A and B are shown apart, each in its own frame.
Chain A
Amino acid sequence: MSRSVAGLLALLALLAALPFFVGPYLLSVLTLVLFLAYTGQAWNVMMGFAGQLSLGHSLYVGVGAYAAGALFFHFGIGPWAGVWLAMLLCVALGLAIGFLAFRFRISGVYFALLTIAFAEFTRVGFDHIGWLGGPAGMFLRVAQRDTWDFANFRGPPLMYYYTMLALAVAAFILCAWLLRSRAGYYWQAIREDEEAAQALGINSFRWKMLAVAVSSAMTSVSGVFFAFYYNNLFPEQIFHISRSIEILIGPIVGGVGTLFGPILGAAMVTLLADGLTDALMALGWDIPGFKRVFYGVVLLIVIIFLPRGIWPALARRLGLHA
């Protein structure tokens, strides 16, 4: 255990120091890695811990982004207030979907389909909300790129990098704590065998609802970050299913249900995808949609050779506890 902690602290020190050694492009890639590690961690609470497969997590990213974005755009209210609205809306949505699914015993593939359906019709719905820009998108004012205006979350790329790093660390600690708490035990029991869990006195409806609430609340923060980092929001992009896939590919490659899997997976997939895209560009091959094909191939390879993900296998090699 202490070896794991030492390894994590070393990794944290490395990540804290990295911005001083890399250029702006690589910094943006690393920010994306941390963004996906954080969001993957959030998705993992639902699927990895409680066994509820969501293929529609773009819903929470999108609603979170639009909630905080709209407050800033229309009323000049900063993200520190906006994040609470984002969280509230996302948790309400998550609980509504969870209620529909769990109350009427929709599970497995059917639950996954329900999550896709909600993300998709929210996407279509947002195309028709003129107040939020509709399909033409919503653009947040970009100013003061050089100074850290933390109150309005406006500043240089470095600020976004460190914010995302702090969020990723916080999510890791939160998940580590959750996994060792009553909720973690109950979620894993439900994941492994819901009927047996109920026979041991676990109200599976209530604990699955909690998993959805925690996961959607965490993901809403990703959305707020997204809005203030990219400064432009289009329903077509933010609610798209490819965003949901991008979120879940990290934890699946890294190891579903593990704490370190989402981080490792996000790093490997993002760095490889961007690295390969750059390499192909350098060779003069600009292949549209390359990333998606790459994700598909990676997913196939992992599912065939390491169905539990890379981290459990790697941890065993390193003699660490997964």
Chain B
Amino acid sequence: MLEVRHVSKSFRGLRAVRDASFQVPEGAINGLIGPNGAGKTTIFNVIAGVYAPDSGEILLGGRRIDGLRPDQVCAAGVGRTFQIVKPFAGLSVLDNVIVGALHREGSVSAARGRALAILEKLGLAAKRDWPASSLTLPDRKRLEVARALATRPRLLLLDEVMAGLRPTECDQMVQLFRGINRTDGLTILLIEHVMRAVMALAHHIGVLHHGEVIARGMPEEVVRDPAVLECYLGEETDV
């Protein structure tokens, strides 16, 4: 479904992503982990069209999407959430999701119907008339997901949606994504710091360090990989 081929992206000499390559097969839930500043969010932004890559290709279902604008990437079937949540603060929860649903729906009333169904699924239906600015952080994260799902993506990019959630809230989110993945066949790529969530969700994990993919594999393998331990904990030295 998603293929990232030799993608590099620099900012004024800082190479945020170096020659990164990975794939997310159709129907998979894959995770991207790595320490702070490893380039995870940059890769997301390159996939989502916020930045064009300096080199390399990104394919979605065989079609090149690198260099497209964010709205075109969305139209191609990629939904995303933002690490720092970006609700439309002045609009109601329902209106936030309607904006997303209008992307595929022909009329506002049809979009409202879809938005209500999605809010129901995410447990936000009771708060639909609240201004988005009055939501708590976990609810704002849910709203990010609801809005992205409303655009009917084939691939969902989740940028640290678990950060700041309590373990029980985190487990609910995990259940939710598993459910959507199973019933709707939605492919998911997530960036996550919360290992509890990554281990529970991801079928396959890539590890990013200094902009490079240094390891990949099943979650259980990856966490035992010496290179991964090294980048998180530092090199082993004899004392």
Contact = CB atoms under 8 A, between A and B. Distances in A.
B22 interface: no
A189 B99 contact: yes
Nearest to A192: B88
Nearest to A257: B90
A192 B74 contact: no
B102 A199 contact: no
A4 interface: no
A7 B88 CA distance: 30
Contacts of A180: 108
A56 B181 CA distance: 51
Nearest to B86: A196
A195 B71 CA distance: 10
Given A180-B108, A185-B95, A204 B71 contact: yes
B34 interface: no
A7 to B, nearest CB: 22
B82 A196 contact: yes
A200 B151 contact: yes
Contacts of A202: 71, 99, 103
B74 A197 contact: no
A188 B70 contact: no
Contacts of B102: 182, 185-186
Nearest to A195: B86
B108 A193 contact: no
Interface residues of A, number: 21
B98 interface: yes
B81 to A, nearest CB: 9
Given A185-B95, A200-B100, A192 B90 contact: yes
A197 B50 CA distance: 12
A185 B108 contact: yes
B89 interface: yes
Contact of A192 (B48, B91, B103, B108): B91
Interface in A190-211: 191-193, 195-204
Contacts of A204: 71
Contact of B82 (A185, A199, A203, A257): A199
Contact of B147 (A191, A195, A200, A203): A200
Contact of A201 (B82, B88, B91, B151): B151
A201 B103 contact: yes
Interface in B50-94: 50, 69-71, 74-75, 79-80, 82, 86-91
Q: Which 7 A-B pairs have the closest CB atoms?
A: A201-B74, A192-B88, A196-B86, A201-B103, A198-B70, A189-B99, A200-B100
Given A180-B108, A195-B86, 15 more contacts: A181-B108, A182-B102, A186-B99, A188-B91, A188-B95, A188-B99, A192-B89, A193-B89, A196-B88, A196-B147, A198-B70, A200-B103, A200-B151, A201-B75, A203-B71
Interface of A: 180-182, 185-186, 188-189, 191-193, 195-204, 257
